[in-house]
Amino acid sequence: MPIDPAAPILMFDSGVGGLSVLAALRRVLPQAPVIYVADNAGLPYGQKTEAEVAARVSGLLGRMTERLRPRLVCIACNTASTIALAAVRDVLEVPIVGTVPAIKPAAALTQTGVIGLLGTEATIRQGYVDRLEAEFAADKVLLRHGAPDLVTAAEAQLRGHPVDQAAIDRAVAALRAMPHGDRIDTVVLACTHFPLIAEALGAAFGPGVRLIDGADGIARRIAWLTRDQHFERRAPDLALFTRDEAGLGELSSALAASGLGRSDVF
């Protein structure tokens, strides 16, 4: 069956972190209609159990794909992807693109052989990350730190609040304090929220440290999977939230800057 040119790409995250992936997608597929879903009712994922995340993500995406009829789903969340990607692919009949820590490119770039990884507490303990390390960075030192406060900092910054410098300094200090942490020259941002505060993170790490995330690779993968398809935007792109809350109005400028001209509650 031909794909409706107006069928959207559905981009899903626990909050607004996936806007960093959306920005990369806009650069390669500016013509693609997008529905961005923020599961703010479930935020934060990083402090939930694996079973809770898997059940929530699979259930929500099942209902959303049935109602919204996307051509492709992007799980723009490292925690959800490392836990629930396989389960979601088992139940949905549309292509699914996940987000996983950019350990492979970091291993290729490091000169000192010491890589830092910042993620949520749930992401850094996943076997998926263990397998990426074994496959691509077995001869490197990978130092992991769970930094849930950085999710809160990124969410606040997009709402127009000052960046939480103390949270950034704590995360950087925790990595630096680990054995070999003084030799870190590459840091994987293993949460889509973290590129939103990359400028502050980069300043805290100092010169000579490169920050790596997977947004550009995800965008290229989506472009390749939809390479023969036609796109038609018949209405402004939509941001959907899973809970109405007072602070959503503070996101209007950030949503508009991301090309999301409408917002609603799912």
Q: Does the annotation mark 77 as catalytic?
A: yes
Q: Is 206 left (phi over 0), alpha (psi -120 to 50) or beta?
A: left
Rg (CA), the chain: 18
Which of 96, 5, 113 is CA-nearest to residue 58?
96
Strands, sheet with 9-13, edge to edge from the N-terminal-most edge strand: 96-97, 72-75, 9-13, 34-38, 237-241, 260-265
Q: Does the annotation mark 74 as catalytic?
A: no
How many other CB atoms are there within 10 angstroms of residue 14's CB atom? 31
Q: Which helix (H) or strand (E) holds 201?
A: helix 198-205
Would you say 192 and 119 are in contact if contact means Cβ atoms under 8 Å apart? Answer: no
Would you say 18 and 12 are in contact if contact means Cβ atoms under 8 Å apart? Answer: yes
Residue 91 gets which letter from DSSP?
H
Q: Which of 77, 141, 154, 200 is catalytic?
A: 77
Q: Which of 25, 80, 191, 240 is catalytic?
A: 191
Active site residues: 77, 191
